[in-house]
Amino acid sequence: MTISVEQIKLLESYRDKAYITSILCSQSAEHFSFLRSIINIPLILSSSTMTVLNSMDSTEGGNNNMKYANIILNAWTSLILSLVGNFKLPEQATNFSQIQVKMNKLCHQIEDKLTIDLESCKIEDIRLFINDYDTLYEQLDYSFPNFIKNREKKIYIGNRTLPNVLNCQQVFAITPSLDSEV
């Protein structure tokens, strides 16, 4: 039994959703990886500065200055490390990267079914793809940055079926109820 045109459209819509979600994940991973790299620069500079200051000869009566510099640099380093830990930048980058690879693989599997093996496609195959997509989406531990969502929405709206995270962003205008007209 072959699948209907509606079922083919459903399969195509999940291919699009997996594709766009893969792009969202890829760009989000790049964003958080870039932030992590930028934040590492002050850590490297403060560690290097502490190394230089601690290796200087402190016999000239500058012990207090050296002591204050070490306190400030240690506090600065602790603050940056706390921020990195609080925002979980490495974890976010890793989570998005892992889901991107899996969504890309799912997209390819759906494309394969659509282009090479459509005649043997069954309703169970479609259900399996939908369940795989939902399972992968549940593995996303973090939300996509809004600027990435907005950019991708502008690119793909009207061209592809958008994932729910992009579809359900619209604010609906409040319309007067029908009872008020009577």
Query: In this structure, what are the phi and psi dihedrals at residue 111, rounded to the nearest 5 degrees?
Result: -60, -40
Record the tokens describing residue 54, joined without a space: 């601690």
Euclidean distance between CA atoms 55 and 39, whole angstroms: 25
Euclidean distance between CA atoms 67 and 74, whole angstroms: 11
- Domain of 39 in residue numbering reads as 5-181
Say what the pLDDT of residue 79 is: 86
Total number of domains constituting the chain? 1
Q: Which amino acid is at 145?
A: P
Euclidean distance between CA atoms 101 and 25, whole angstroms: 9
List the chain residues with pLDDT less than 50. 172-173, 180-182
Q: Give whole-number Cα distances, 17 to 21, 52, 53, 78, 175, in Å.
A: 6, 53, 54, 41, 30
Say which residues have a Cβ less than 8 Å from residue 17's Cβ, sequence separation at least 6.
133, 161, 162, 163
Say what the pLDDT of residue 168 is: 67
Counting every residue, how long is the chain? Answer: 182
